[in-house]
Chain A
């Protein structure tokens, strides 16, 4: 397959990425698209902080502000954090379990394109009459009565991208269950793989309620249904339940893989096995399970009554226990270790106090009676940013630096990385710490301005200054990425030299078939064990033989494109536009037609022959 190594033209590269089913390339697509949306969400955050820097500001109007906060939340959760985690799951998880690809390469590509078209659709709202403006939670009474098409963009865009996430989750589950290399038992899987597994299971059960909620709202807004019309017998609280039955597990879907990334980093740079591995696995599963039992703590002030509130309060507190177990296990992984402070380790180390802050305020908001004060104030804003930025975003930044050499074969600059870290870390605490107090001093969340004379001015200004720090940090990271890719200094299999898991036992970036021979796994931290035994790599579990690989396909792109087109038809059909219905039908025909083509056209993939593999090895040696 030496032709693959040759330089390709620009067009050919684009076509390659449009049709790829290779998990490593899909990972890069997720990374690029997620990064793009992350920057858009970040810009929206900057606008929010400029508007709130001083009282009575008029940087943006009240209506535009609501659009900005809605898109900031929606973009960051659905279009930035999730896809960026998916990028690492795709890039690393199959390598960590010693697989040649995911279980369903075609579905993997489909998942990406659905997410991508859904995200683009949602963001087109800015240019087509206004973005959604009912908050990322889009509570029904406000959302149903919101004018224009903003909420329709939200409802349709999230349905499309949510579908992509769902099938992505199923794909990872099957991959981990069926595709592990010989000897890779469940209790030998790296923690990032474990957290991917649990997060995927949560996606499977959490996304359908969201889909139903979105569908009901779509029916109400576009097809005249009455689910949330109180006068017609409807009930808006149904939306709150459906949204949070999805929404709370979603938080854990985000944070568990983040925990996984940090577990890898702590262990690697401490040169120590993860302390209490089995209790870490147990805690992960337990968090995943409890994550479904606590959704109503987002609704303490909805008026569900003291019995429900008390039960959900206690259940929520219970999640503190497995999370605490994890924190101490990480600390004791480093204890007695030989800790090297690389950029990923900076993030991991700083994550502990940051996330503990978010965790303890989590227990505080779980105390139902006191939450009546915290709920919907800046205290809650501070809390979830401590969890999501202090947990998930730090993990994404750490993972970016940690796995960049594996994904691209070249290392990000460490000095720039550390500068990014310090600016981001200081900016993060500056922005969000004070917000706890703003909330307690009486500042509700989602306010487009505040009046002077309420004691809120200084705190808001501090918070806005912090946002500036974070912005500069992100710019330096981008600069670092560009410089690194331009220089493109190639690195070997194990650039950090302390790699423990299977991904570090193969070239960076790995060949498209990952493993020439599937490795034989002898225990947790398989690569580390071999290194300690004085070997250079893993013992193969099979002789060199033909490798079966899937064919590239343009169909995933087409299926997603069809839904993207259909969504416009569905949306404009309420305006009695004559072209709306045909567009809806054309879109659906493209989607279902593509599915039919996929179904009736046999796709057996292709084989890389043994001779080619042997020849390539010789070539590499020469």
Chain B
């Protein structure tokens, strides 16, 4: 099958994300890339756990003092939901329903923006309320690096999905851009999974003490 071909609902393949050689390569390559990303985050998690609550003196706040459940739980819900909406988008992509896919992707982006907004608010809160800044202690450096790195991934993911949406707004789906949408959604799921770990390891375990 050729990537540039104009297709209809009837000729649209069952797995558009893997129906050309280029798409198969992209699909596999991206999975491998996520494997590398997993090791990257694992290293950051290990660093965080080693430096958790490691502060120069008792004037600094510890994890149990600063984290609040309502805020982070809301953020978690936003991101989890956005993962679900991106699944819907991919469902419509596979059914050659371009408009519906775009709608669900827009919702995904909005939820992602919401998450990002909460994270910015959260960081700002820590800095002003607790003087918990990037340079204040090893614990703070490790916290902002891990969570901030995830935040940077969210930002990049949003930019990526938006770029794809704008680029393909007029021309609809084909076998050239379907794999692009697909890997972008894979990336989004990955970000979501990482967040589940951050929520558990950083926030929940942090609040327990």
A and B touching (Cβ–Cβ under 8 A): yes
Residue B64 at the chain A interface, CB threshold 8 Å? no
Residue A205 at the chain B interface, CB threshold 8 Å? yes
Chain A window 144-174, contacts with chain B (Cβ cutoff 8 Å), 1 for yes, 0 for no: 0000000000000000000000100011011
Residue A540 at the chain B interface, CB threshold 8 Å? no
CB of B39 within 8 A of CB of A235, answer no
Residue B65 at the chain A interface, CB threshold 8 Å? no
Residue B40 at the chain A interface, CB threshold 8 Å? yes
CB of B141 within 8 A of CB of A225, answer yes
CB of B28 within 8 A of CB of A226, answer no
Residue B21 at the chain A interface, CB threshold 8 Å? yes
Question: In chain B between 17 and 35, which residues have their CB closer than 8 angstroms to a CB of chain A?
Answer: 21, 24-25, 28-29, 32-33, 35
* Interface stretch of the complex, out of A37-45, A90-98, A280-288, A597-605: A597-605
Residue B50 at the chain A interface, CB threshold 8 Å? yes
How far apart sit A204 and B4, CA to CA, in the bound complex (Å)?
A: 32
Of A173, A241, A599, A602, the residue contacting B164 (CB under 8 A) is: A599
CB of A170 within 8 A of CB of B33, answer yes
* Interface stretch of the complex, out of A211-219, A311-319, A323-331: A211-219
CB of A205 within 8 A of CB of B35, answer yes
Of B39, B136, B167, the residue contacting A600 (CB under 8 A) is: B167
Which residues of chain A are near B176, meaning CB under 8 Å?
Answer: 602, 604
How far apart sit A599 and B167, CA to CA, in the bound complex (Å)?
A: 9
CB of A174 within 8 A of CB of B28, answer yes
Question: In chain B between 108 and 155, which residues have their CB closer than 8 angstroms to a CB of chain A?
Answer: 134-142, 145
Chain B: number of interface residues, binned into ranges: 35 or more
Chain B window 60-74, contacts with chain A (Cβ cutoff 8 Å), 1 for yes, 0 for no: 000000000000000
Which residues of chain A are near B142, meaning CB under 8 Å?
Answer: 227
Given A205-B39, A216-B47, A233-B56, A224-B32 contact (CB < 8 Å):
no
How far apart sit A596 and B138, CA to CA, in the bound complex (Å)?
A: 36
CB of B164 within 8 A of CB of A229, answer no
Residue B51 at the chain A interface, CB threshold 8 Å? yes
CB distance from A51 to the nearest CB of B (A): 37
CB of B51 within 8 A of CB of A233, answer yes
Residue A231 at the chain B interface, CB threshold 8 Å? yes
How far apart sit A604 and B176, CA to CA, in the bound complex (Å)?
A: 8
Interface centre among A173, A215, A216, A226 (most CB of B within 10 A): A226
CB of B141 within 8 A of CB of A211, answer no
Residue A307 at the chain B interface, CB threshold 8 Å? no
Q: Which partner residue on chain B sits nearest A224 by CB separation?
A: B135
Of B35, B55, B134, B137, the residue contacting A204 (CB under 8 A) is: B35
Given A219-B145, A235-B51, A226-B167 contact (CB < 8 Å):
no
How far apart sit A227 and B54, CA to CA, in the bound complex (Å)?
A: 10
Chain A window 232-250, contacts with chain B (Cβ cutoff 8 Å), 1 for yes, 0 for no: 1111001001100100000
CB of A231 within 8 A of CB of B56, answer yes
CB of B135 within 8 A of CB of A233, answer no
CB of A204 within 8 A of CB of B138, answer no
How far apart sit A83 and B47, CA to CA, in the bound complex (Å)?
A: 30
Given A208-B39, A212-B47, A232-B56, A173-B32 contact (CB < 8 Å):
yes
Of B51, B134, B139, the residue contacting A223 (CB under 8 A) is: B134
CB distance from B16 to the nearest CB of A (A): 16
Q: Which partner residue on chain B sits nearest A596 by CB separation?
A: B163
Given A211-B40, A233-B55, A599-B163, A171-B29 contact (CB < 8 Å):
yes
Interface centre among B51, B138, B142, B166 (most CB of A within 10 A): B138
Given A204-B32, A231-B56, A232-B56, A212-B43 contact (CB < 8 Å):
yes
How far apart sit A213 and B56, CA to CA, in the bound complex (Å)?
A: 22
CB of B36 within 8 A of CB of A600, answer no
Residue B44 at the chain A interface, CB threshold 8 Å? yes
CB of A233 within 8 A of CB of B138, answer yes
Looking at chain A's contact residues, is the secondary structure mostly helix, strand, loop, or mixed? helix
Of A209, A216, A599, the residue contacting B39 (CB under 8 A) is: A209
Which residues of chain A are near B136, meaning CB under 8 Å?
Answer: 226
Residue A103 at the chain B interface, CB threshold 8 Å? yes
How far apart sit A177 and B27, CA to CA, in the bound complex (Å)?
A: 12
Of A170, A208, A225, A235, the residue contacting B29 (CB under 8 A) is: A170
Of A104, A166, A170, A233, the residue contacting B137 (CB under 8 A) is: A233
Residue A117 at the chain B interface, CB threshold 8 Å? no
Of A170, A178, A209, A600, the residue contacting B163 (CB under 8 A) is: A600
Residue A207 at the chain B interface, CB threshold 8 Å? yes
Which residues of chain A are near B167, meaning CB under 8 Å?
Answer: 599-600
Which residues of chain B are near A104, meaning CB under 8 Å?
Answer: 25, 29
CB of B36 within 8 A of CB of A170, answer yes
Which residues of chain A are near B163, meaning CB under 8 Å?
Answer: 596, 599-600
How far apart sit A604 and B180, CA to CA, in the bound complex (Å)?
A: 14
Residue B3 at the chain A interface, CB threshold 8 Å? yes
How far apart sit A226 and B54, CA to CA, in the bound complex (Å)?
A: 10
Which residues of chain A are near B37, meaning CB under 8 Å?
Answer: 208
CB distance from A219 to the nearest CB of B (A): 7
Which residues of chain B are near A235, meaning CB under 8 Å?
Answer: 50-51, 54, 138
CB of A208 within 8 A of CB of B51, answer no
CB of B25 within 8 A of CB of A226, answer no
Q: Which partner residue on chain A sits nearest B35 by CB separation?
A: A204
How far apart sit A174 and B35, CA to CA, in the bound complex (Å)?
A: 13
Which residues of chain B are near A219, meaning CB under 8 Å?
Answer: 134, 141, 145
CB distance from B26 to the nearest CB of A (A): 8
Which residues of chain B are near A220, meaning CB under 8 Å?
Answer: 141
Q: Which partner residue on chain B sits nearest A602 by CB separation?
A: B176
CB distance from A617 to the nearest CB of B (A): 25
Which residues of chain B are near A599, meaning CB under 8 Å?
Answer: 160, 163-164, 167, 180
Q: Which partner residue on chain B sits nearest A204 by CB separation?
A: B36
Given A174-B25, A204-B32, A225-B145, A234-B40 contact (CB < 8 Å):
no
Q: Which partner residue on chain B sits nearest A167 by CB separation?
A: B33
Q: Which partner residue on chain A sits nearest B177 by CB separation?
A: A602
CB of A103 within 8 A of CB of B35, answer no
How far apart sit A596 and B161, CA to CA, in the bound complex (Å)?
A: 12
Which residues of chain A are near B28, meaning CB under 8 Å?
Answer: 103, 173-174, 177-178
CB of A227 within 8 A of CB of B36, answer no
Chain A window 189-205, contacts with chain B (Cβ cutoff 8 Å), 1 for yes, 0 for no: 00000000000000011
Which residues of chain A are near B51, meaning CB under 8 Å?
Answer: 227, 233-235, 238
Chain A window 568-607, contacts with chain B (Cβ cutoff 8 Å), 1 for yes, 0 for no: 0000000000000000000000000000100110101000
How far apart sit A241 and B138, CA to CA, in the bound complex (Å)?
A: 17
CB distance from A613 to the nearest CB of B (A): 19
Kindly list 8 other residue pairs between chains A and B, CB separation below 8 angstroms, not including A171-B29, A232-B137.
A174-B29, A178-B25, A178-B28, A179-B25, A208-B37, A224-B134, A226-B136, A227-B141
Nearest 5 A/B pairs, CB to CB: A233-B54, A233-B138, A225-B141, A208-B40, A224-B135
A-B pairs with beta carbons under 8 Å apart, 30 shown: A103-B29, A107-B29, A166-B36, A173-B28, A174-B29, A178-B21, A178-B24, A204-B39, A205-B35, A205-B36, A208-B37, A211-B40, A212-B43, A215-B145, A216-B47, A224-B135, A225-B134, A225-B135, A225-B141, A227-B141, A227-B142, A232-B138, A233-B56, A233-B137, A234-B138, A235-B50, A238-B46, A238-B47, A599-B167, A600-B166
Question: A residues near B, CB below 8 A?
Answer: 103-104, 107, 166, 170-171, 173-174, 177-179, 204-205, 207-209, 211-213, 215-216, 219-220, 223-227, 229, 231-235, 238, 241-242, 245, 596, 599-600, 602, 604
